[in-house]
Structures are given as C-alpha cells and as structure tokens.
Amino acid sequence: MSVALEVLSEHKCFDGVQRFYQHDSRVIGLPMRFAVYTPPQAQQGPVPVLFYLAGLTCNEETFITKGGAQQFAAQHGIMLVAPDTSPRGSDVPDDKDSWDFGVAAGFYLDATQEPWSKYYKMESYIVDELVSLVRSQFPVDAEKIGIFGHSMGGHGALTLALRHQDVFRSVSAFAPICAPTRCPWGHKAFSGYLGDNRAAWEEHDASILMSRANKPFPQGILVDQGLADNFLPEQLYPEAFEEACQQANQPLTLRRHEGYDHGYYFISTFMEDHIKFHAERLK
C-alpha cells in the first residue's frame, strides 16, 4: 500500500540528494518526520540502506546536519535514513521538567503505561512501519539493512538489532547506553514507559539481550566510546556490553578514545569508519 510522503526540503549533496519527509504514521497516529540521503549510485539500481537513531534532545535533522556522513555514504553507495526520536504534537504527553524523558526521548521502545502508551511506539514505528516504507518507496536492496546510533540511539540500535535480527544485518554504535537497567537514564525511561515490570525492562537492555544470545552478528559489532565523555561513568556501561559479548561469543570491536567527549565532534571524527564498517557487511 502506497504511503503519501510530503517532501519538506531537498538539497543536492555529494552528487546525491538529501531530503526531509513527513508522513501520517499509522503506528503513531500522528505525522512523523524522517530524513533520507540518497547516494548517486541509486540512479543505477537498488542500494543498501543504513538507519541512524539519534540521542536525547535530538530529531531527524541532528545527525544529518552534524554527522558528516553523506560524503562517506556517497563513496560507498549507501542510503541513510534518520527518523525522529519521538512522536511530537500538541496531544503528545511530555515531561516539561525533563530533557531525558518524554518528547525527544522515546528510547526506541513501545510504551505500555498511560499516558505514554497511546503515542510512544517507536520500536514498532521504526521496525514495522518505517523499514517497510523505505523498502517500498525508495531504491533500496530490501535484504541489505543496517542500523547504528548515538547514546539513546546507540541503545536503540543495539536493542533493535538484537530483537529483530531478521531485519538488520549489521549494527554499530557511538557511546551507546549499554545497560539501561543499571543507569539513571534507563531507570527513568523504563519506569515511565514500561512500569515496574523488570522483566520488560530486560527486553530493552542490550547487555542482557546479548548475554542471552549466541553470536547473533558473526561479522562483528563496532562501538566507539570517548573517555572524556561526562556520561561514561554513570550512564553508559560499555564494559557490561563487552562482557556480554564475550559470554555470547560475539565478535566486538570496542574502541576507547582518549580526550573525546559525548558530542558530534566525536561522532563525526569516526563516522567514516562506521560507514565503511556497514558497507563491508551489507555488500
């Protein structure tokens, strides 16, 4: 079934095209925005596609304008798709006193608790709706899909990849929230969206999911972490994911970088490596 897409803006970029779209989401029940970079190779035929999930306070424009990814996507012939980080609108519930919960903080899961459960269905939106939309309306190879992200979006990339291994063939992350059941961000999000059911929390914790797996991504996972990241000690727990990968016999390249913080200066520095990582696995 065809979905009506509204083009909000269009820009030529590295011989490809950067577009921003809006559509009426059947899953969310509201308009949702997302960005697509189409590389020049798409003029000759279907290309692999890489979904990027942004972090807290971000939207569909953040990665596209700050990440510096288009030049490398053009080199490797990969389409980039960047969804928003939560539903938005006058009816969408929010915690006005929090920047880390509510609007722009959807945590890439389906909320089960009121009032959040009506609109906050980001896992279903991305995996069930947006992936299908991209497959049907853009020149992509439907079997060559990867996912990566940053911080909350790194959490989303890891958990969605592990929960939907039939969809995503490659996964990487920048400074991901690796063990949300252990950290303040995770406790706040999970208790709000999922309630007190700790078993439900564990289904969205990358380290726990990995510990239960058996080499789910045999071609490896790439994670970059800055050691000057202010959120590293209390929120991110890369060592927990590293331990879980060892337990699951999962090849992991976890790179720790002296002097780098949590922001897009760090992300853009290592963006080329991540695009190349996915290109090698998706081609």
Active centre residues (catalytic): 151, 229, 262
Taking a C-beta distance cutoff of 8 angstroms, is the pair 262, 211 a contact?
no
What 269-276 contacts at long range (C-beta under 8 Å, 24+ apart), as own/partner pairs, is: 270/174, 270/224, 271/67, 271/68, 271/69, 271/72, 272/72, 273/222, 273/224, 274/148, 274/172, 274/174, 274/222, 274/224, 275/50, 275/69, 275/72, 275/73, 275/75, 275/76, 275/78, 276/72, 276/76
How far apart are the C-alpha atoms of 226 and 270, rounded to whole Å? 11
Q: Between the CA of residue 147 and those of 112, 150, 182, 191, 230, what are the distances in Å?
A: 24, 11, 24, 26, 25
